[in-house]
Structure 1
Amino acid sequence: MTPPVDASESSLLAARLSAIDEKIAVAAHAAGRSAEEITRIVVTKFHPASLVRDLYELGVRDVGENRQQELSAKQDELAALDLRWHFIGQGQTNKAAAIRRSAGVVHSVDRDRFADALHRAADGDDRLDVLVQINLTDDPGRGGAAPAQAVALAEHVLALPSLRLRGVMAVAPLDEEPASAFARLRDVADGVRAVDPSASWISAGMTGDFVEAIAAGATHLRIGSAITGPRPDRG
């Protein structure tokens, strides 16, 4: 078991969460949207499971992890809590079964082989919610499918009955204005919805750019240190 978070840390956690939720509400209002249509995912990378438990007590139900090992460990420890676990890191085919056992949503389906591996790991009739990850940079080595390949990948996912296509995900490039990047993602999302109208999720926006993401139609935000505080020293 991980050690509990002390009272002062819990108070700071609550304050940070409240501040972010207020900013989300303001940004949604400015965009002519309702904050209720936006899911705030708290990314707890490198933080202990006890922090996730404190977040749960504050009403958080959607938690994100980048690494399979950390996702699996925290989900096992906190299995009694009604949490929805989002896997948002780069997925490896040899870890697909472990990811599927622990995650309720996989945001990072970026190639046919990973989608196939998640499908092969299905247990029973359960369907796994997945998003097609889009690479908005010019670097083919970065995670995500090229925008021009998004529809083909979406169609591949749709052919796998154990997966449920929910939409698209992307990270804004560091060398581009977030508003411009997210506008391009919105165009890709429109193309995916043309082949599956129910694939309406847009996972975009982190601490530094979630306001622009909301303006572009993001439905899911992935926010870490602005809520959790600095990541613990791993050394």
Structure 2
Amino acid sequence: MDDQLAERLADVDARIADAARAANRDPAGITRIVVTKFHPASLVEALYALGVRDVGENRQQELTSKTAEVGSLDGLSWHFIGQAQSNKARAVRDAASVVHSVDRGRIAGALDAAGQPQSGVLDVLVQVNLTDDPGRGGVSPDGVVGLAEHVAGLAGLRLRGVMAVAPLDEEPARAFERLAAASARVRTVVADSDWISAGMTADFPEAISMGATHLRIGSAITGPRPTRG
């Protein structure tokens, strides 16, 4: 298992490096987040042993249970990438190093209010909806600046940039180009909020070509997700 995991990780890292060079970018400027959804906490430990220092979860329950089970691993960052709910803000804040999915002021406010004196400042990204469906997660492109201004005004949060998922019915590069435009608008609010969280297993080369700084990659590294009973 560990040999196969190491091979998949090395393969993805080589592909990231190739895509970065093709885009005239330094691979060192790209953070690879391994999404461990539905996998046991032992996989996080195995990934850590292979040098992985950024892992992602999209369910609060899994995030909370895995951080508790794994404990404190030096230098490991937990990225919450799922839809945030205000009633779970404290649990997310207690476990996450970064929240990628702030898509409305209420969530931002709840995460800010959930901070404890020992919590420090929480890194967050504004999630942008790149589809025409208002029911999808993310703020509309027209609302990005307003939400960024709201987040920037909260003392317990640090605005780092933007996040999005490419629509299934569109060329990923075109969608990520719109995300790059949203990133530029956010940087008019907070100049150094230059993180762009975009790209998953199927489309990370296109995300890199459009400036992604953080990739969220699951099955290409972890293998198939376990069946949920």
Q: What is the TM-score when the length of structure 2 is the normalising length?
A: 0.98
**The one of 162, 171, 192 aligned to 1:198:** 192
Measured in 2, the distance between the counterparts of 1:140 and 1:211 equals: 27
Q: Deviations over 1:166-215 (max 9, x none)?
A: 00000000011001000010001000001111100000000010000000
- What is the aligned partner in structure 1 of residue 99 from structure 2? 106
Measured in 2, the distance between the counterparts of 1:206 and 1:233 equals: 20
Measured in 1, the distance between the counterparts of 2:71 and 2:195 equals: 26
- What is the aligned partner in structure 1 of residue 17 from structure 2? 25
The Cα shift of 1:80 comes to: 2.4
- What is the aligned partner in structure 2 of residue 73 from structure 1? 65
* Secondary structure at 1:211 match in 2: helix
Q: Deviations over 1:34-66 (max 9, x none)?
A: 110000000000000001100000000000000
**The one of 165, 168, 177 aligned to 1:174:** 168
Runs of 4 or more off by more than 2 Å in structure 1?
Answer: none
Q: Which amino acid counterpart does residue 189 of structure 2 have in structure 1? A: V
- What is the aligned partner in structure 2 of residue 10 from structure 1? 2
The percentage of counterpart residues that share the same residue type is 67
Aligned ranges 1:58-69 → 2 under 5 Å: 58-69=50-61
- What is the aligned partner in structure 2 of residue 137 from structure 1? 131
Q: Considering only aligned residues, what root-mean-square deviation do their CA atoms show, in Å?
A: 0.6
Measured in 2, the distance between the counterparts of 1:158 and 1:141 equals: 25
Aligned ranges 1:153-232 → 2 under 5 Å: 153-232=147-226
* Secondary structure at 1:194 match in 2: coil
**The one of 85, 105, 109 aligned to 2:78:** 85
Deviating more after overlay: 120-129 vs 137-146 = 120-129
Q: What is the TM-score when the length of structure 1 is the normalising length?
A: 0.96
Measured in 1, the distance between the counterparts of 2:35 and 2:150 equals: 28
Q: Deviations over 1:81-127 (max 9, x none)?
A: 12100000000000000000000000000000000000000111600
- What is the aligned partner in structure 1 of residue 111 from structure 2? 118
- What is the aligned partner in structure 2 of residue 3 from structure 1? none
Measured in 1, the distance between the counterparts of 2:11 and 2:130 equals: 29
* Mapped pair 1:49 → 2:41: yes
* Secondary structure at 1:195 match in 2: coil
* Secondary structure at 1:166 match in 2: strand
Question: How many matched pairs?
Answer: 227
- What is the aligned partner in structure 2 of residue 148 from structure 1? 142
Unaligned runs of 5+ in 2: none
